[in-house]
Amino acid sequence: MSFGAKFGLLVKGKREARGWSLANLALEVFGDDGSLGESRKGDVHKLETGQTAKPRASTIKRYCDALGISQDDVDTLRSPDQMPSVTQMRRLLAERDHLKAGKTLTELQVIGLAERVAENIPDFDAALRELDQALTVAEDLKTRSQQTSNHADFIDKVFAEVQRLNDEDNPDEAAATLQRAYDEGAAQQARLLDSLIAQHALRQDVDATLNAILAKLPMDVPDPSKHFDALRAIRYDYRQQGLTHGTRFPSLMAIALAETCKDRAQSKAEKGAALNDLGIALSELGTREDSPDRLNAAVKAFDSALEVYTKDALPMEWATTQNNLGIALQELGKREDSPDRLNAAVKAFDSALEVRTKNAMPKDWAMT
């Protein structure tokens, strides 16, 4: 039986012991929306009948507060493999007063964010950084949401003004009015998409965040020929966030954006740049992970880039990619204690130095 099913039975027993109906409990858990709990009693029924296999931590807290269920009662329902993430979440929540300083987030929101972070990141320091960043995003999103908009009223007024102008036989001004309204409407839509990007980032949903970014791209950059460079710039921003904060989600976004650039590349130069970007993003995140999978994927990306970046045609790009390849191979060689990997890394660095000479490029030569 799943934890959710066990918790549902516990909730049902506590509710019936109090003589409460489903609606009574819904009212206590979710508050009064004017229906005295009738609109949410279906949620209680789903929980009690085991249809909610994995209730969120914030949901559990609501029911526990309403029914006086202790944390010990809840923990007895969990399997041993579930406890590490729960323990991690509690350690994170112990820091919430410090992390919430200056923020106006609700307790339930903080609990939910901590749970999502704890489930995905076993290392406490890394999880704490992720939670800190998530709280910042959540606060920014809350600020955006509190900005008022009278968009519907605005549209009604525009249509009324257009009708008046047409009635007065002034179609040119009516068209100009509609154009101004359209421009302002686009600004409203862009604002919504900015919030949607932030919301999906808060959910740590890479695909949804990427889709929202792509939806907004034509608004920010009307010229399609400039989309590739714009996406690379967005990728760079996410990459820097990942490096600065040591957090996982921005690094995953950098990978996803590099993949998108690779798929959209229109020339060999763009293809090579995207593959090199992809290798860098994979390598930087892979260096922070225990698994070698991303580092191996980075090596493949750099190798693919070198099929596009030839020494004769694009020597600078070729040398940079060789250097990046060497870094990834060196990290793998250290982890695997592999002379073959380390020798391959040396070979890549030597190749880079064929272009990055001391006289021509002293800084790059020294870094290699």
> What is the DSSP-derived secondary structure letter of residue 207?
H
The closest of 227, 277, 270, 230 to 256, measured between CA atoms, is 277
Q: What is the pLDDT of residue 151?
A: 61
- Arithmetic mean of pLDDT, 183-192: 77
Helix (H, G, I), strand (E, B) or coil at 54: coil
What's residue 321's pLDDT?
94
CA 211/CA 238 separation, integer angstroms: 15
Return phi, psi of residue 251, to 5°.
-70, -40
How many angstroms separate the most distant Cα atoms in the chain? 86
Which two tokens mark 201? 């980032």
Q: How does residue 39 score in pLDDT terms, banded at 50, 70 and 90?
A: confident
Those residues with Cβ within 8 angstroms of residue 348's Cβ, 6 or more apart along the chain or in another chain:
322, 323, 325, 326, 329
pLDDT at 195: 82
Read off the pLDDT of residues 250-274 as tens digits, 9 standing for 90 and up. 999 999 999 999 999 999 999 999 9
Q: Encode pLDDT of 54-103 as tens digits.
A: 888 888 999 999 999 998 899 889 888 878 788 888 888 887 666 666 66
pLDDT at residue 202 in the model: 84
Q: What are residue 117's phi and psi, to 5 degrees?
A: -65, -45
The pLDDT tens digits for 146-158 are 665 556 677 778 8
pLDDT above 90 covers a percentage of the chain that reads: 48
Buried b (16+ CB within 10 A) or exposed e, 270-301: bbbbbbbbbbbbbbbbbeeeeeeebbebbbeb
pLDDT (0 to 100) of residue 97: 67
More confident residue, 198 or 1: 198
280-326 pLDDT per residue, tens: 999 999 999 989 999 999 999 999 999 998 888 889 999 999 999 99
Question: How many Cβ atoms from other residues are within 10 Å of residue 131's Cβ?
Answer: 24
Q: List the single range of 27-41, 75-89, 165-179 with lowest mean pLDDT.
A: 165-179
Put simply, whether the predicted model's pTM sits higher than 0.95 gets the answer: no
The packing angle between helices 22-30 and 57-67, to 10°, is: 120
What is the reported pLDDT for 101?
62
Alpha-carbon gap, residue 261 to 125, rounded angstroms: 32
Instruction: Yes or no: say if 292 and 329 are a contact pair by the CB < 8 Å rule.
Output: no
Confidence bin at 276 (pLDDT 50/70/90): very high
Residue 341 has pLDDT above 90, yes or no: yes
